[in-house]
Amino acid sequence: MSLDGTYDHGNIFAKILRGEAPSARVFEDDHVLSFMDVFPQARGHTLVIPKHSVARNLLDEEPQVLAGVILGVQRVTRAVRAALNPDGIVVTQFNGATAGQTVYHLHFHIIPRWDGVALGRHGAGGMADPAELTALAQQIAAKIS
Protein backbone atom coordinates (compact mmCIF):
# COMPACT_ATOMS: atom_id res chain seq x y z
CA MET A 1 0.00 0.00 0.00
CA SER A 2 1.23 3.42 -0.86
CA LEU A 3 1.19 6.48 1.37
CA ASP A 4 -2.19 7.40 -0.11
CA GLY A 5 -5.42 5.51 0.30
CA THR A 6 -8.53 5.17 2.39
CA TYR A 7 -8.73 3.81 5.91
CA ASP A 8 -9.86 0.16 6.10
CA HIS A 9 -12.12 -0.33 9.13
CA GLY A 10 -11.38 -4.07 8.92
CA ASN A 11 -7.69 -3.68 9.76
CA ILE A 12 -6.45 -5.74 12.72
CA PHE A 13 -5.87 -2.76 15.01
CA ALA A 14 -9.41 -1.45 14.36
CA LYS A 15 -10.64 -4.93 15.33
CA ILE A 16 -8.55 -4.85 18.52
CA LEU A 17 -9.98 -1.42 19.35
CA ARG A 18 -13.53 -2.70 18.87
CA GLY A 19 -12.78 -5.77 20.97
CA GLU A 20 -13.24 -8.08 17.99
CA ALA A 21 -9.67 -9.41 18.12
CA PRO A 22 -7.61 -10.32 21.19
CA SER A 23 -4.63 -8.38 22.48
CA ALA A 24 -2.41 -8.30 25.56
CA ARG A 25 -3.47 -4.85 26.74
CA VAL A 26 -1.02 -2.65 28.61
CA PHE A 27 -2.68 0.74 28.94
CA GLU A 28 -5.65 2.75 27.80
CA ASP A 29 -6.75 6.36 28.26
CA ASP A 30 -9.06 8.70 26.33
CA HIS A 31 -6.54 9.00 23.51
CA VAL A 32 -4.58 5.76 23.10
CA LEU A 33 -4.62 2.01 23.49
CA SER A 34 -1.38 0.15 24.13
CA PHE A 35 -0.83 -3.59 23.74
CA MET A 36 1.96 -6.08 23.12
CA ASP A 37 3.18 -6.75 19.58
CA VAL A 38 2.48 -10.43 18.79
CA PHE A 39 5.53 -10.70 16.51
CA PRO A 40 7.99 -8.93 18.80
CA GLN A 41 11.35 -7.69 17.56
CA ALA A 42 12.53 -7.81 21.19
CA ARG A 43 11.13 -8.88 24.54
CA GLY A 44 8.67 -6.22 25.65
CA HIS A 45 7.93 -4.85 22.13
CA THR A 46 4.85 -2.72 22.77
CA LEU A 47 2.53 -0.79 20.45
CA VAL A 48 0.59 2.43 21.03
CA ILE A 49 -2.30 3.38 18.75
CA PRO A 50 -4.76 6.29 18.70
CA LYS A 51 -8.25 5.22 19.78
CA HIS A 52 -10.27 7.79 17.84
CA SER A 53 -8.61 7.92 14.49
CA VAL A 54 -8.95 6.92 10.88
CA ALA A 55 -5.36 7.84 10.10
CA ARG A 56 -3.47 5.12 8.21
CA ASN A 57 -0.15 6.75 9.07
CA LEU A 58 1.48 9.74 10.72
CA LEU A 59 0.94 11.94 7.68
CA ASP A 60 -2.83 11.36 7.73
CA GLU A 61 -3.34 12.16 11.41
CA GLU A 62 -5.12 15.25 12.64
CA PRO A 63 -2.55 17.47 14.38
CA GLN A 64 -4.76 17.90 17.46
CA VAL A 65 -4.94 14.11 17.90
CA LEU A 66 -1.17 13.70 17.84
CA ALA A 67 -0.54 15.48 21.14
CA GLY A 68 -2.52 12.89 23.09
CA VAL A 69 -0.95 10.07 21.12
CA ILE A 70 2.67 11.10 21.68
CA LEU A 71 2.03 11.72 25.37
CA GLY A 72 0.67 8.17 25.55
CA VAL A 73 3.77 6.91 23.75
CA GLN A 74 6.01 8.65 26.29
CA ARG A 75 4.00 7.31 29.22
CA VAL A 76 4.16 3.72 27.99
CA THR A 77 7.85 4.05 27.07
CA ARG A 78 8.62 5.16 30.62
CA ALA A 79 6.68 2.18 31.96
CA VAL A 80 8.57 -0.20 29.64
CA ARG A 81 11.82 1.20 31.00
CA ALA A 82 10.69 0.86 34.60
CA ALA A 83 9.39 -2.68 34.09
CA LEU A 84 12.16 -4.20 31.98
CA ASN A 85 15.25 -2.08 32.67
CA PRO A 86 16.55 -2.04 29.06
CA ASP A 87 19.81 -0.37 28.04
CA GLY A 88 18.01 1.58 25.31
CA ILE A 89 14.57 1.88 23.73
CA VAL A 90 13.66 2.34 20.07
CA VAL A 91 10.48 4.36 19.46
CA THR A 92 9.51 4.24 15.81
CA GLN A 93 6.75 4.08 13.25
CA PHE A 94 6.55 3.24 9.54
CA ASN A 95 4.65 5.04 6.79
CA GLY A 96 3.79 3.06 3.66
CA ALA A 97 4.66 -0.47 2.61
CA THR A 98 7.96 0.61 1.12
CA ALA A 99 8.97 1.89 4.55
CA GLY A 100 7.97 -1.42 6.16
CA GLN A 101 4.39 -0.66 7.26
CA THR A 102 2.11 -3.71 7.40
CA VAL A 103 -0.91 -2.50 9.43
CA TYR A 104 -2.67 0.64 8.23
CA HIS A 105 -3.86 2.25 11.45
CA LEU A 106 -1.35 4.76 12.84
CA HIS A 107 0.83 3.15 15.51
CA PHE A 108 4.10 3.62 17.35
CA HIS A 109 6.50 0.81 18.21
CA ILE A 110 8.28 0.81 21.59
CA ILE A 111 11.12 -1.69 21.38
CA PRO A 112 13.43 -2.22 24.38
CA ARG A 113 17.08 -2.97 23.57
CA TRP A 114 19.75 -4.67 25.64
CA ASP A 115 23.48 -4.51 25.04
CA GLY A 116 24.59 -7.55 23.07
CA VAL A 117 21.06 -8.62 22.09
CA ALA A 118 20.36 -8.31 18.37
CA LEU A 119 17.18 -6.63 17.20
CA GLY A 120 14.75 -9.02 15.51
CA ARG A 121 13.78 -8.19 11.93
CA HIS A 122 10.64 -6.13 11.49
CA GLY A 123 7.75 -8.30 10.31
CA ALA A 124 9.90 -11.44 10.16
CA GLY A 125 9.79 -12.81 13.69
CA GLY A 126 7.76 -15.68 15.11
CA MET A 127 4.56 -15.27 17.05
CA ALA A 128 5.12 -14.83 20.79
CA ASP A 129 3.63 -17.08 23.45
CA PRO A 130 0.33 -15.40 24.47
CA ALA A 131 0.89 -16.22 28.15
CA GLU A 132 4.31 -14.56 28.02
CA LEU A 133 2.81 -11.48 26.36
CA THR A 134 0.11 -11.27 29.02
CA ALA A 135 2.76 -11.47 31.76
CA LEU A 136 4.84 -8.73 30.08
CA ALA A 137 1.75 -6.55 29.62
CA GLN A 138 0.98 -6.88 33.33
CA GLN A 139 4.57 -6.05 34.29
CA ILE A 140 4.53 -2.92 32.12
CA ALA A 141 1.01 -1.90 33.18
CA ALA A 142 2.10 -2.04 36.81
CA LYS A 143 4.68 0.67 36.08
CA ILE A 144 2.36 3.14 34.33
CA SER A 145 2.38 6.39 36.28
Least Å distance between CB 38 and ligand AMP? 4
Residues at the contact surface with ligand AMP, assessed by CB under 6 A: 12, 21, 23, 37-39, 94, 100-103, 123
Residue 107 annotated among the catalytic residues of the structure: yes
Closest Cα partner for 90 from 64, 65, 113, 67? 113
35 vs 84 by CB, closer to ligand AMP: 35
Write down the catalytic residue from 31, 107, 109, 122: 107
Least Å distance between CB 1 and ligand AMP? 10
5 vs 100 by CB, closer to ligand AMP: 100
Least Å distance between CB 2 and ligand AMP? 14
23 vs 77 by CB, closer to ligand AMP: 23
Active site residue ranges: 107
